[in-house]
């Protein structure tokens, strides 16, 4: 094992928690998917609302933890020095992990509270994705500030700032600031959802997208040796296109929540353009890999980079575009279409980014002098995850189209129309497929675990050691 | 606001273009600094427009400002009708209809609705249902639940209640007992006070002008099987 900076040791801490939570996400996803098929399963113990909440909250937390890990990992490369506050960094990690643990225990064992402010402060806020109670919100923001100042102080102490770090510092500030928009109570549900989307949309379609732009740009530089000048030029173009379309693209969530009509035009126009930067990212990755004739020392990282570029484009760009015009969204809004899109987009754009960093780190730790990082297991996990994700997303797409037509277009969107559509075989059978492919996804995750435990361990010692 | 969506789109794009062009004068488009400046200008322009639109939206969607009706709307009969001019459905007020045989003052209604919203959040309704179309997809959308014909057709007879709101309260307090499908709503232990507050909230929500979502609510051609 080669020498690690303190910053990189913190990265390892973040990734170990992230990978465990990834597993937890999948387990709760499987339970939720099974409850669709057999609604009495755990009906009185862990109802669907709780398993689903655990599924998506685990996702948000592990993805963020992976991003933080990635930032700590590349920090010494970009600044030429170690992190300023190593102890502080570890403390922040510990606090975050402990807070997540407490929140999860309360979710599982307390689940719900009375309709009062105590519940919002200590049990759940009941708002999808950001259910975490208020005390945890404040804690998360405090920890994020510690992390932020640690990164910023390191950059400024180093006396130089690369383009990547410049974009990162501004983007992180926006990311943390947006979270505050989701931290207050209002009886007005239109205002509630208006600000809720500031967090959710301006995270995944603006600040997270730019953040992974930085992480993937650095990864391309690292894995393929693309020159910094090219990476930074592309990054600025991406920032222009992502923020230029994604900020007002927010309007595609303001069609039907009581907000004024002008959002139909503004949201429809800008969100339709949101796929453009995602196409640019594909061009960028494929062009770079072509220039280097696919020569790399880190096969799994390179292939996950490709998957990130294509997954982001298809999941966010194509699947997002499918239902983003108000004329379509009027009927598809709040159906399985959104679940189909949400799965492919989060997987392609964000899961893939974190896995790229896992392999970059593993190479550094296990096979720093080469020859190259490779194994058979990563291919199995890679293909397995792609196939099973496509299977789940395809199943939900069928269910989503059918639900849109049956419940919303032919039907009158009522309670009974909902039930009738859910019982239609075009909707109910895909739920079986989704569960089956979900199992396959989980098995692929186990192969991934096996791979990250073993890759780079054996190969060099067999080949390099003299007899 | 007196601008159309198209004017806002054109203005934001033009400002980005003009601002970016001025700040990148004399630079080649292959120079990263060219894109850096454009990125800064574009982000600032779009964010500024978002703030302006946010203020306008907050104003237009304040409680009692038309799109979001006054809390006392829970004392009224609410309907949902096609507006011929726009081709979209709109909530309409069709005279008086007290809730739980009571006429609420503005303060009483506001207190009740606040309780309703707190209760909805405390039980994670949004992690099974959608409200205004946002949430989870395991259970029906609640945007116009107050207007749902099922309360009269099935739930009043089933719960033995006299009125729709009473049937709703009974269902909400014991959803596991009044199930109509294999996917049963769990018992979330609502008190009677909480259940009434939630019913009031659903009534209020059904009166929000959602630009026509869901389309032709309650007019179904779907054949049950
Ligand atoms: C990586 C980027 C993206 C991620 C992770 C993502 C994820 C999601 C998720 C999870 C939802 C469901 C939200 C809910 O629970 O209610 C959603 C909704 C939506 N997304 Fe995306 N998205 C991304 C990018 C895009 C893009 C680029 C577009 C448009 C081209 C788009 C269009 C939409 C629309 C229209 C909805 C609303 C669906 C509805 O009306 O129910 N998304 N997105
Ligand atoms: C074992 C694999 C998985 C299974 C079985 C599964 C199952 C589910 C289920 C049942 C839901 C609830 C949908 C509903 O409300 O009807 C859900 C929601 C969601 N899952 Fe998964 N999931 C899996 C993996 C993933 C992965 C890998 C991601 C992305 C990283 C993901 C992201 C999401 C998101 C964003 C939502 C919310 C969607 C929305 O509200 O539109 N899931 N999942
Ligand atoms: Fe969005």
**What is the full per-residue pLDDT of chain B (225 aa) written as tens digits?**
778 999 999 999 999 999 999 999 999 998 999 999 999 999 999 999 999 999 999 999 999 998 999 999 999 999 999 999 999 999 999 999 999 999 999 999 999 999 999 999 999 999 999 999 999 999 999 999 999 999 999 999 999 999 999 999 999 999 999 999 999 999 999 999 999 999 999 999 999 999 999 999 999 999 876
Please state the rounded mean pLDDT for residues A297-308: 94
User: Which of 129-168 (B) contact A at CB < 8 A?
Assistant: 130-141, 143-145, 148-150, 154
For residues A430 and A374, the answer to whether their CB atoms sit within 8 Å is no
Say which residue, A297 or A84, is predicted with more confidence. Answer: A84
B75 and B53 fall within a common domain: no
B39 and B116 fall within a common domain: no
Enumerate the H helices of A316-371 as residue ranges.
319-322, 326-332, 336-345, 352-366
3-state helix, strand, coil in chain A (%, to 5): 80, 0, 20
Domain CATH for B159: 1.10.760
Q: Is residue B96 part of a domain?
A: yes
Q: Which residue of B lies nearest to A268 if distances are taken between CA atoms?
A: B5
Nearest CB to B61 within list A187, A191, A239: A191
Residue A229 corresponds to which tokens in the numbers above?
A: 């000048």
What's the predicted TM-score (pTM) here? Answer: 0.96
B87 and B163 fall within a common domain: yes
Q: Do A418 and B141 touch (CB under 8 A)?
A: yes
For residues A436 and B172, the answer to whether their CB atoms sit within 8 Å is no
CB-ligand 2 contact for A323 (6 Å cutoff): no
Q: B130 forms bridges with which residues in the sheet?
A: B135
Q: Is the pLDDT of residue A466 over 50?
A: no
User: Which of 255-284 (A) contact B at CB < 8 A?
Assistant: 255-266, 269-270
Q: For residue B43, what are the domain limits?
A: 5-60
Nearest CB to A193 within list B128, B132, B224: B132
List pLDDT tens digits, range A114-145: 999 999 999 999 999 999 999 999 999 999 99
B101 and B38 fall within a common domain: no
CA nearest ligand 1 atom 10, residue: A342
User: Which of 316-335 (A) contact B at CB < 8 A?
Assistant: 330-331, 333-335
Q: Do B127 and A270 touch (CB under 8 A)?
A: no
What is the spatial distance between Cα A287 and Cα A292, in angstroms, rounded to a whole number?
9
CA atoms within 13 A on the CB side of A26: 22
List pLDDT tens digits, range A236-248: 999 999 999 999 9
Q: Do A408 and B214 touch (CB under 8 A)?
A: yes
Domain residues of chain A, as ranges? 1-160
Please state the rounded mean pLDDT for residues A152-168: 96
Size of interface A-B (CB pairs under 8 A): 290
A408 close to B (CB below 8 A): yes
CB-ligand 2 contact for A21 (6 Å cutoff): no
Q: Is residue B220 part of a domain?
A: no
DSSP code at position B102: B
| Number of domains observed in the structure of chain B | 2
B76 and B50 fall within a common domain: no
List pLDDT tens digits, range A400-409: 999 999 999 9
B50 and B93 fall within a common domain: no
Q: Is residue B46 part of a domain?
A: yes
pLDDT score recorded for residue A274: 97
What is the spatial distance between Cα B219 and Cα B210, in angstroms, rounded to a whole number?
17
B53 and B131 fall within a common domain: no
Q: Is residue B214 part of a domain?
A: no
Q: B78 forms bridges with which residues in the sheet?
A: B93
Q: Do A239 and B39 touch (CB under 8 A)?
A: yes
B24 and B102 fall within a common domain: no
Sequence-ordered list of residues with C-beta below 8 angstroms from that of B105, at least 6 positions apart, any chain:
B72
Q: Residues lining ligand 1, judged by CB closer than 6 Å?
A: A 128, 204-205, 209, 252, 271, 274-275, 312, 316-317, 320-321, 323-324, 329, 333-334, 338, 341-342, 345-346, 349; B 133-134
Q: Is residue B138 part of a domain?
A: yes
Q: Do A260 and B12 touch (CB under 8 A)?
A: no
Strands (E) in A191-304, as ranges, are none
User: Which of 186-215 (B) contact A at CB < 8 A?
Assistant: 186, 188-191, 194, 197, 205, 208-215
Please state the rounded mean pLDDT for residues A172-188: 94
Q: Is residue B217 part of a domain?
A: no
Q: Is residue B212 part of a domain?
A: no
pLDDT score recorded for residue A463: 45
Q: Is the pLDDT of residue A433 over 60?
A: yes
Q: Which residue of A lies nearest to B134 if distances are taken between CA atoms?
A: A334
Determine whether A272 is exposed, middle or buried from the number of CB atoms within 10 Å of its CB (0-12, 13-18, 19+). Answer: middle
Average pLDDT, chain A: 95
For residues A252 and A329, the answer to whether their CB atoms sit within 8 Å is yes
DSSP code at position B71: G
What is the spatial distance between Cα B198 and Cα B180, in angstroms, rounded to a whole number?
20
- For A6, other C-beta atoms within 10 Å of its C-beta total 17
B133 and B22 fall within a common domain: no
Q: Do B218 and A257 touch (CB under 8 A)?
A: no
For residues A140 and A57, the answer to whether their CB atoms sit within 8 Å is no
Please state the rounded mean pLDDT for residues A287-314: 90
B130 and B187 fall within a common domain: yes
What is the spatial distance between Cα A189 and Cα B67, in angstroms, rounded to a whole number?
12
With the CA atoms of A259, A261, A262 and A264 taken in that order, what torsion angle do they form, in degrees rounded to the nearest 10? 90
CA nearest ligand 1 atom 12, residue: A338
DSSP code at position A316: I
Shortest distance, CA B15 to any CA of chain A (angstroms): 12
Which residues of chain A neighbour B145 with C-beta distances below 8 Å? Answer: 415
B111 and B77 fall within a common domain: yes
Interface ipTM: 0.97
Strands (E) in B44-113, as ranges, are 76-83, 88-96
Q: Is residue B153 part of a domain?
A: yes
Q: pLDDT confidence of A292, banded at 50, 70, 90?
A: confident
């Amino acid at each position: 094992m080669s020498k690690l900076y303190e910053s990189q040791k913190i990265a390892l801490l973040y990734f170990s928690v992230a990978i465990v939570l990834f597993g937890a996400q999948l387990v709760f996803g499987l339970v939720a998917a099974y409850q669709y098929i057999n609604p009495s399963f755990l009906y009185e113990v862990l109802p669907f609302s709780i398993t689903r909440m655990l599924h998506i909250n685990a996702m948000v937390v592990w993805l963020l933890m992976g991003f933080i890990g990635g930032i700590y990992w590349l920090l010494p490369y970009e600044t030429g020095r170690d992190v300023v506050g190593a102890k502080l960094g570890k403390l922040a990690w510990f606090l975050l992990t402990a807070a997540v643990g407490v929140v999860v225990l309360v979710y599982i064992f307390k689940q719900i509270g009375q309709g009062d402010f105590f519940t919002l402060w200590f049990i759940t806020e009941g708002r999808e994705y950001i259910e975490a109670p208020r005390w945890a919100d404040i804690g998360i923001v405090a920890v994020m500030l510690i992390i932020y100042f640690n990164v910023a102080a390191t950059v400024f102490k180093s006396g130089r700032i690369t383009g990547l770090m410049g974009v990162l510092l501004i983007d992180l500030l926006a990311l943390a600031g947006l979270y505050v928009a989701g931290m207050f109570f209002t009886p007005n549900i239109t205002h509630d959802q208006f600000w809720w989307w500031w967090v959710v949309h301006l995270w995944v379609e603006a600040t997270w997208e730019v953040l992974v732009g930085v992480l993937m740009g650095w990864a391309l530089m690292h894995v393929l040796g693309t020159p910094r000048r090219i990476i930074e030029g592309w990054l600025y173009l991406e920032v222009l296109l992502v923020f230029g379309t994604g900020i007002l693209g927010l309007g595609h969530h303001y069609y039907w929540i009581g907000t004024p009509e002008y959002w139909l035009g503004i949201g429809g126009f800008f969100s339709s353009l949101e796929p453009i930067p995602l196409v640019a990212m594909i061009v960028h990755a494929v062009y770079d890999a072509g220039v280097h004739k696919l020569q790399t020392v880190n096969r799994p990282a390179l292939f996950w980079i490709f998957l990130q570029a294509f997954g982001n484009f298809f999941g966010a760009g194509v699947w997002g575009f499918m239902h983003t015009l108000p004329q379509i969204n009027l009927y598809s809004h709040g159906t399985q279409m959104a679940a189909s899109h949400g799965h492919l987009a989060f997987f392609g754009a964000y899961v893939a980014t974190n896995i790229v960093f896992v392999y970059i780190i593993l190479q550094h730790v296990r096979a720093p002098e080469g020859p190259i990082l490779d194994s058979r297991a990563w291919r199995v996990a890679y293909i397995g995850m792609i196939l099973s994700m496509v299977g789940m997303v395809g199943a939900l797409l069928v269910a989503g189209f059918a639900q849109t037509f049956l419940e919303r277009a032919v039907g009158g969107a009522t309670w009974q129309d909902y039930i009738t559509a859910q019982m239609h075989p075009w909707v109910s059978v895909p739920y079986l497929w989704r569960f089956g492919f979900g199992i396959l996804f989980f098995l692929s995750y186990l192969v991934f675990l096996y791979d990250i435990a073993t890759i780079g361990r054996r190969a060099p010692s067999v080949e390099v050691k003299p007899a | 606001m007196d601008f159309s969506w198209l004017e806002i789109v054109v203005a934001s794009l033009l400002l980005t273009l003009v601002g970016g062009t001025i700040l990148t004068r004399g630079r080649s488009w292959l120079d990263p600094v060219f894109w850096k400046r454009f990125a800064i200008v574009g982000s600032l322009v779009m964010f500024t427009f978002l703030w302006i639109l946010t203020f306008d939206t907050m104003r237009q969607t304040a409680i009692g400002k038309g799109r979001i009706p006054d809390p006392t709307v829970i004392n009224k009969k609410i309907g949902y009708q096609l507006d011929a001019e726009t081709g979209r459905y709109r909530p309409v007020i069709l005279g008086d209809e007290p809730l739980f045989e009571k006429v609420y003052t503005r303060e009483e209604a506001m207190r009740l609705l606040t309780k309703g919203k707190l209760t909805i959040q405390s039980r994670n309704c949004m992690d099974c249902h959608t409200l205004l179309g946002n949430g989870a997809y395991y259970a029906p959308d609640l945007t116009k639940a107050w207007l749902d014909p099922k309360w009269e057709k099935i739930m009043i007879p089933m719960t033995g209640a006299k009125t729709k709101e009473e049937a709703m309260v009974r269902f909400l307090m014991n959803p596991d007992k009044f199930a109509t499908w294999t996917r049963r709503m769990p018992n979330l232990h609502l008190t009677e006070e909480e259940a009434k507050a939630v019913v009031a909230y659903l009534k209020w929500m059904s009166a929000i002008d959602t630009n026509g979502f869901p389309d032709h609510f309650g007019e179904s051609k779907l054949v049950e099987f």
